[in-house]
Structure 1
Amino acid sequence: MTQERLFNTFIVTAAEDGKKLQQVLKNRYHFSRRWLRRLKQGQYVLVNDEASYLSARIHSGDEIRIFLPDEITLKIEPEAIPLRISYEDEDIVVVDKPAGIVVHPTKGYPNGTLANGLAYHFLQQGRELPIRPVSRLDKDTSGLLMMAKHAYTHDFLSKEMKKKRYQRQYVAIVHGQIADDVGTINRPIAHDPVRPIHRWVNENGAQAITHYEVLERKEGATLVSLQLETGRTHQIRVHLSDYGHPIIGDRMYAEGWKDYGIKRQALHATRLSFIHPRDGKEYMFFSPLSQDMKELWAKL
């Protein structure tokens, strides 16, 4: 098992006595059929230190060890970029991203990205791992995002997102006073046919739902908390702009509005919560409002 990494070990309970191994694995870790086939083909599951068929029945007191294959890495150049890591274990990394850094290399940003920094971080640990963002943040949005260290965790959390159990909460400072204390923006979002990088609200677009709650109002501005139910590109920025309250400093969707000196959109990912694939427990992380947004709100 030198090419594999131990994922988890557990002892079969009395309630699991006599059940098929594949059913217990599915119940405990929500392995898909594809993943069960992969575990079977690689003999990545041991029962009492011996390889076992997944169709075999297991018994109370048996020790089950699950391995995951180390995967072929994507070619991302390691770079010594400072990272603010909020949490890290064998499955995930939660990063508190500053504004101004891209998550993953693109044609426009081939290096200097968060992924380059993580590749270097993993290399310092003696490992080469693929960079798998579970969700992304725009270059000029700050705050929390999560990377999966292997394909199973990425698949698991992607499914959790579809089940609305992967929660992301943001704080924004917007132009104008939002009238309602709480509300939901349910407007479909599509590619802008004129400006390819932009998105816009269009009835032929994909469903997009954003919930909001006003935290505080000032003359001409609102501090608002937002929670995503869907994850469309630029969703919060497009929804708030279409709603008549674009984010202050958003040079793409608040054109012609005053930026009050902030050099990016005043949007921060402040909370992240999810069910962990290894132990099934809920994890929650918080990031305080970024300094430039604190200064902007004080100025307003």
Structure 2
Amino acid sequence: MQKEELWEYTLQPQDNGKKYQDILAHKFHFSRKLLQSLKQGEHAWINGKFTYLTARGQAGDLLSVQLLGEEPANIPGEQLPLDILFEDDYLLIVNKPPGQVVHPNHRYPTGTLGNAVVGYWQAKETPHRFRPIHRIDRNTSGIVVIAKSRFAHQQLAYQLEHNLIHKHYLGFVQGCVLEGQGKMDQTIALTPGSFIQRTVSPDGLPALTYYQVLYRYPEATLMRFMLSTGRTHQIRVHCQALGHPLLGDDLYGGQLELIQRQALHSYHYAFQHPATGENISIYAPWPKDLIELVSKLKTLKATSNS
């Protein structure tokens, strides 16, 4: 096993006498399922020698765990364009174009981001399962983070669950939003009689979106959204409830004159690297249609937020 394929940790004084599996579970949030898979075969070593995870360690010991490895693809690969923002042994982060579904489904069985990612890995002869940390709507553009291993996926899923991943979106909404910043914390539920549309409802799940006005145009406002929860269509529903639906979002009352899809872009993600703990900050360039939207809006006399 090559060194770069191993996750390593030097035990500290507070780890004395603890089982390796307990250190991995409590300090590094290894899931029970991942620990169980590590117990099947030789996947852990102490100071270069095989060890059982139920053994107890001493300060200074070097614990090495095999976490990476090739896996059979779980969906068909296709040779499609892929805008890669970041890649290493653990993660692939891409800038998804508008109009592309993240994962294949019965309605969109091919041409998805998942097909493109698997095809990219197959071309490199390094197969992995497609494990997106999150999904964004078909007509929302921007960042999608994909884990290359079960370990990376469960580490980032832990961060997502504990609100440790900071997700920022840019969106253009109809009208002039007067408040420079604020929050929208209405609960969201499925609209009765619909399988797709959501609505603000007292019977819904908690949803919290922070916003900041970046620029005001005569008939639209550029806003930054910071998500504290990840409900389906959260920003879109909250904007409609605010009285300022996203431009192009006809499902939630947005007008289609200037753009033919919701003017929403996932542009910034910040989190800790699943293996190293390093702070990662990723930005996604704007797609062509949002750049064109800005040009259209600038044909009107704009005033900046002051």
Q: TM-score, normalised by structure 1?
A: 0.91
| SS in structure 2 at match of 1:64 | strand
Letter paired with 2:149? H
Q: 1:196 to 1:16 in 2, by over 3 A?
A: closer
1:168 matched to which residue of 2? 167
Q: 1:207 to 1:15 in 2, by over 3 A?
A: closer
The yes-or-no answer on 1:287 pairing with 2:287 is: no
Deviations for 1:162-192, whole angstroms, at most 9, x for unmatched residues?
2111111000000011111111101111111
| SS in structure 2 at match of 1:252 | helix
Equivalences for residues 210-225 of structure 1 within 5 A: 210-225=209-224
Q: Which of 258, 261, 271 is equivalent to 2:258?
A: 261
Deviations for 1:3-22, whole angstroms, at most 9, x for unmatched residues?
xx934134445664554323
| SS in structure 1 at match of 2:129 | coil
Letter paired with 2:114? A
Question: What is the CA–CA distance in structure 2 between the aligned matches of 1:69 and 1:289, rounded to whole Å?
Answer: 33
How far 1:274 moved relative to its partner? 0.9
2:244 matched to which residue of 1? 245
How far 1:67 moved relative to its partner? 0.9
Q: CA RMSD in A?
A: 2.2
How far 1:284 moved relative to its partner? 0.6
Cα contact 1:29–1:278 (8 A) shared by 2: no
Q: How many residues align?
A: 296
The yes-or-no answer on 1:299 pairing with 2:284 is: no
Equivalences for residues 1-300 of structure 1 within 5 A: 6-13=5-12, 16=15, 18-26=17-25, 29-68=28-67, 70=69, 73-254=72-253, 257=255, 259-300=256-297
How far 1:72 moved relative to its partner? 5.7
Tell me which moved more, 242-251 or 63-72.
63-72
How far 1:299 moved relative to its partner? 1.6
How far 1:74 moved relative to its partner? 5.0
Cα contact 2:92–2:148 (8 A) shared by 1: yes
Cα contact 1:270–1:286 (8 A) shared by 2: yes
How far 1:102 moved relative to its partner? 0.8
How far 1:219 moved relative to its partner? 1.1
Cα contact 1:212–1:224 (8 A) shared by 2: yes
| SS in structure 2 at match of 1:46 | strand
| SS in structure 2 at match of 1:274 | strand
Question: What is the CA–CA distance in structure 1 between the aligned matches of 2:290 and 2:200, rounded to whole Å?
Answer: 27
| SS in structure 2 at match of 1:42 | coil
Deviations for 1:79-113, whole angstroms, at most 9, x for unmatched residues?
10010010111111100111111111011100000
Unmatched 5+ residue regions in structure 1? Answer: none
Question: What is the CA–CA distance in structure 1 between the aligned matches of 2:153 and 2:55, rounded to whole Å?
Answer: 28
| SS in structure 1 at match of 2:247 | coil
Tell me which moved more, 225-234 or 55-64.
55-64
% identical equivalent positions? 37
Deviations for 1:45-75, whole angstroms, at most 9, x for unmatched residues?
1113322122323334433221137576454
Letter paired with 2:111? G
How far 1:195 moved relative to its partner? 2.6
Question: What is the CA–CA distance in structure 1 between the aligned matches of 2:151 and 2:63, rounded to whole Å?
Answer: 18
| SS in structure 2 at match of 1:164 | coil
Q: TM-score, normalised by structure 2?
A: 0.89
How far 1:248 moved relative to its partner? 0.4
Letter paired with 1:181? G
Question: What is the CA–CA distance in structure 1 between the aligned matches of 2:18 and 2:156, rounded to whole Å?
Answer: 26
How far 1:159 moved relative to its partner? 1.5
Cα contact 2:246–2:264 (8 A) shared by 1: yes
Deviations for 1:123-151, whole angstroms, at most 9, x for unmatched residues?
11212211111011111111111011122
